[in-house]
Structure 1
Amino acid sequence: MADSASDLPLVVGIGGTIGGVSSTERALAIALEAAAREGFRTRMFGGADMAQLPLYDPKATTRTAQERDFVDTVRQASALIIASPGYHGSISGVVKNALDLLEETARDPHRPYLADMPVGLIATAYGWQATGSTIAALRSIVHALRGWPTPFAAAVNTQLTKFDAEGGASDPAVIEQLSLVGQQVARFAPIAVPHG
């Protein structure tokens, strides 16, 4: 048993939009809460955090404090949950930019990219069509980063489901689906051993 919260394994959430707390970020928070109930500590990089990441420059010789914090936190993670709104049928630019920054881990000796890490996926969109294509795009990216997308991914139609500031949603089934994403990454996380 862990002696303190800092000894607990970490699940990192990445998702949201610029310009305030979005339905995507609220959906991600529900999934992270489920992982926390499974005995994990969590950290979310929401829209405001991702807005501070400059456009990824692969040739840059230095990184900002925000870029270093993001990459170092992912390096410590046992699992990830990525949530993206469906923008024009795919993931948002801010989420893609954050994931592009994980190129910094390419030469890590113990775990390049997201190798062997369970990754939960959430897509939100105003309508069903973009949720499916956004989840497919996220799965492809996670595979390219050598991660393991969990079997279940949550698709949330924000035309039908409304989130509230208290951490709830108008459809209990959506809360169950988002919680399942958090539970699955937590249950698969012991397979992945983080190295910092």
Structure 2
Amino acid sequence: MADAAAIDVRADAPLVVGIGGTIGGVSSTERALRIALDAAGREGGFRTRMFGGADMARLPLYDPRATTRTPDEIEFVETIRQASALIIASPGYHGSISGVVKNALDLLEETARDVDRPYLADMPVGLIATAYGWQATGSTIAALRSIVHALRGWPTPFAAAINSQLTKFDEEGGASEPAVVEQLCMVGRQVARFAPLAKQMSLRTNG
């Protein structure tokens, strides 16, 4: 899976991972996620790694009984294990998150027995929802929050809800609505600011 990081930082810098997009090309969701990830990189000097739609399309449907995992599944899980923070972006499909994003999150069951950090325990998680209309953005954000809570993560206070009927993204990393860009940057900044606090809490708990 290709690294989409665009910011030059130290090779040993903490890692923020983005998960989001749709199958069939670069989407508004993926472009929104890229803006938030770049903001996290600028705020905290973090490395960033994005698993977009094309990456998630290579993940097979999650089978909890499988005894082996594909190289793409292994890389995805190992990257999440190394992360200090996460940003999840999903389109709103029929009032909730997309199947491809849910399938990727289901794969985190592989971390259930990890000693240092099962699931997303104590990890700050930023949330983004895009939909063609406002109604699905709210329900998609709510679904993402519920999933992150179930995975023991900490959703950041602010989540970005984007109406793609009104906001258009461009290939240069911008959007037609400056306020939307600022909202996405806020998601990235909050994730970056909370990541060191989460690490301190984890050290106290495990130390």
TM-score bin (small chain) = over 0.9
Letter of the 1:41 counterpart: R
The alpha-carbon deviation at position 192 of structure 1 amounts to 2.8
The 2-side partners of 1:90 and 1:190 are apart by 31
RMSD (Å), alpha carbons = 1.1
Report the Cα distance in structure 1 between the residues aligned to 2:11 and 2:51, rounded to whole angstroms.
18
Alpha-carbon distance in structure 1 between the residues aligned to 2:149 and 2:57: 25
Q: Residue 133 of structure 1: CA displacement?
A: 0.0
TM (norm. structure 2) is 0.91
- In structure 1, distance between residues paired with 2:85 and 2:41: 12
After superposition, give the CA deviation of every residue in 1:170-191 in whole Å (9 maximum; x if it has no partner).
0000000000000000000012
TM-score normalized by the length of structure 1: 0.96
SS of residue paired to 2:11:
helix
CA deviations 1:109-148 (Å, max 9, x no partner) are 0000000000000000000000000000000000000000
Q: CA deviation at 1:69?
A: 0.3
| Pairs aligned (count) | 192
Identity %: 85
Q: What aligned pairs does 1:9-20 form with structure 2 within 5 A after superposition?
A: 9-20=14-25
Which residue of the partner structure matches residue 142 of structure 2? 136
Q: Which runs of 5+ in 1 are unaligned?
A: none
Higher alpha-carbon deviation: 4-13 or 31-40: 4-13
Spell out structure 1 runs of 4+ moving beyond 4 A.
Answer: none
**How far is 1:6 from its partner?**
1.7
Q: Does 1:187 align with 2:182?
A: no
Q: 1:103 aligns with which of 109, 124, 138?
A: 109
Q: Find the aligned partners of 2:197 and 2:153 in 1 and give their Cα distance.
A: 12
Aligned to 2:52: 46
Q: Where in structure 2 are the equivalents of 1:68-147 lying within 5 Å?
A: 68-147=74-153
Aligned to 2:40: 35
How many angstroms apart in 1 are the aligned matches of 2:141 and 2:117?
24
